[in-house]
Amino acid sequence: MRQFLKYTLASFTGSILFMLVMGLLLTLGAVGLAGALVVSLARSGGSPTVEKDSVLVYDLSTLVPDTPIFQEPGDFVVNGPVQPQVSLRQAVLALEAAAEDERIVALYLKGSPTSVGMGLANQQEMAQALTRFKESGKPILAYDVDWSEREYALVALADTLYLHPFGDLEMNGLYSETLYQADALEKLGIGVQVTRTGAYKSAVEPFTNNAMSPQEREQTQRLLQDIWQGLLTEMAKPRSLTPQRLQAIANTQGLLFGEAAKTAGLVDELAYEDEVVDKLRELTRESDDGGDTEADFRQVDLPTYAATVEDEWATRSASTEVAVVYAEGPIVYGEDGLDGVGSGVIAGNTLARQLRQLRQNDEVKAVVLRVNSPGGSALASEVILREVQLIQAEGIPVVVSMGDVAASGGYWIAASADAIVAQPGTITGSIGVFSLFLNLEDLSNTVGLNWEGVKTAELADIFSISRPKTERELAILQATVDTLYDAFLDRVEAGRQLPRAEVANLAQGRVWSGQTSQTLGLVDELGGLQQAIEKAAELAELGEDWRLESYPKPSDWQQFWATFLGSQVEAPATNAFLADPLIAQGQRFLGDSLVLARTLNDPRGLYMRLPYTLRVN
């Protein structure tokens, strides 16, 4: 009840503040005043202070997105503030700076009761930054009540890894499952017809099949095996264990409780949180004053510390610019904020316009396109790719940095880049095309609905949902899909300079890990965003005479609210009911289905999209 009242009052207070500020802005002129308030608040706020002998605390639930998540005022009023966050690049810079900062004496990795606040590729880049911090000689301590495999892959390098005496460590491998709905749709009277190319292009199978196809089973098994082997290596190496030993534990034990985890060498010490705090207080040279357990040592959290770290590449004075463009979310056709396109997606026309503006900017000498997308609209993907190619035609190199996923349409927009950099755990490939058509004829007959219409040509109603497609119509639509698939192969062949037969063999809609993609030639280098930026500057032959700029820029409103609300907010309390695994699984399925439905807006119904949403927990 106390938490309920706290968040209710917080939302109520936020609503009042919002209305007051809105009234003031409307009275005095919204746009001009918003900009002035941003500048004023930024000046008055100042940088956070980091005390001497502080511990840098990295709560693993902290969101680490590619680029900061900015809230609109309406989102804040309805949903409250976003949980603590720091962009990937700023988090990496913070860890590198902390390694050299005399005020920071140690790093504390605090386990999360929910999940790691980033995808696998970003986690691998953070792990590399943690390794560089460890090389400074400063100690890394990590503690949790229960370690998940994802967390453990990040904290295994800690100098002292703690586990609650009654806690557990998960080591039971990866699992993927898909809900197949063909029988259910048939019983509901919903007809499904598809056209597709690629034996492994399985995005439509949950709607047409009652079981996993051999091709889908094969590619999913290969992908999970690649990711799992990478995790085994990351977990085993710093613990002086072997992947084989961890595999044996996964096969026979699954969960290791307390002493068993220590005996197996997976953790160093069993301890309660207050005992870990005592160790941290020794590092900060503080005496025990009986304060609050969590806050009872001198500390600064990662988002706060990151705000004090200057990005030298972004602040140095230079006449030329390396532009980083963030493309994150499903690819949809249209304009951001228009055409029914909401937030959290890549609006094809909007991204294309951003790329066009960079091409026309004489200061831009290299572009890094950061892609984190499962794909989507075929037409929108081509609109984006065209602008990438026009940038290259001006002699400006384009390097693609792949995030957690850059597959299907996400790979289409990357294919022609001068270089592609991905993490081993990146999900990419899925070179294939599909279209999905539902019809409600049987459902309409069952409930007593009758569709009537008139037309001026035989094929005028080809996209009607009132009836199934005829064989002739499906042949026309299949020919369109085949043409688009051939175009996809063309772009990969030309962009990656691979033989056509080789491209055709590794395509077929098949999904690959970044590790395997590098061996196949779909990816040039393994690495993160910083490596991609350095590669772009190298290709442009800029030396050190360049500065970094990130796009798209936040709007005045977004900047205002980010400054007004501040970057530090308390993470929302976890609802015990929603934490139930079955409920959480249902929520994820429903959420994924709604996102998929919202983003299928290609005007021709042609899609290049990953067949599933893969989460490694």
* Across 179-183, 294-298, 358-362, 397-401, least confident range: 294-298
pLDDT digits (tens, 9 = 90+) for 277-334: 999 999 998 876 555 555 588 999 999 999 999 999 999 889 899 999 999 989 998 8
Give tens-digit pLDDT for 437-477. 888 989 888 999 899 989 899 889 888 999 999 999 999 99
- Identical fold between 50-172+253-306 and 313-450+457-609: yes
- 96-108 tens-digit pLDDT: 999 999 999 999 9
From CA 597, how far away is CA 599, in angstroms rounded?
6
pLDDT band at residue 580 under the 50/70/90 scheme: very low
pLDDT of residue 607: 63
Residues 6+ apart with CB under 8 A from 241: 235, 265, 266
Query: In whole angstroms, how far apart are CA 152 and each of 11, 127, 174, 465?
Result: 35, 11, 14, 49
pLDDT for res 125:
94
Cβ contacts of residue 600 below 8 Å, gap of 6+?
376, 436, 607
144: CB partners within 8 A, 6+ apart: 110, 111, 112, 151, 155, 162, 163, 164, 167
Rounded Cα gap, residues 562 and 90, in angstroms: 16
Point out the residues that are catalytic.
201, 408
> Cα torsion at 342, 356, 329, 235 (round to 10°)?
-150
Q: Ranked by mean pLDDT, which of 61-70, 333-342, 397-406 comes out on top?
A: 397-406
> Could you name the CATH architecture of 50-172+253-306?
Alpha-Beta Complex (3.90)
Compute the distance between CA of residue 219 and CA of residue 225 in angstroms, rounded to an integer: 10
Computed over every residue of the chain, the mean pLDDT equals 82
pLDDT beyond 50 at 569: no
Largest CA distance in the chain: 86
Record the tokens describing residue 218, joined without a space: 């094969």
Least confident among 115-124, 416-425, 539-548: 115-124
pTM, to two decimals: 0.82
- Calculate what percentage of the chain has a pLDDT beyond 90: 56
Instruction: Determine what percent of the chain falls in helix, strand and coil, rounding each to the nearest 5.
Output: 45, 20, 35
Tell me the β-bridge partners of 299: 55
Domain boundaries of the chain, sorted by first residue: 1-46, 50-172+253-306, 313-450+457-609
Which uninterrupted H or E stretch holds 594?
helix 581-599
DSSP assignments along 276-338, one per residue: HHHHHHHHHT-------TTT-S-EEEHHHHHTT---HHHHS--SSEEEEEEEES-EESS-TTS
**pLDDT attached to residue 598:** 56
pLDDT of residue 197: 85
- In angstroms, the CA 39 to CA 563 distance is 9
Q: Look at the alpha carbons of 525, 537, 91, 80 in this order and tell me if their dihedral is positive or negative.
A: negative
Look at domain 313-450+457-609 and name its CATH class: alpha beta
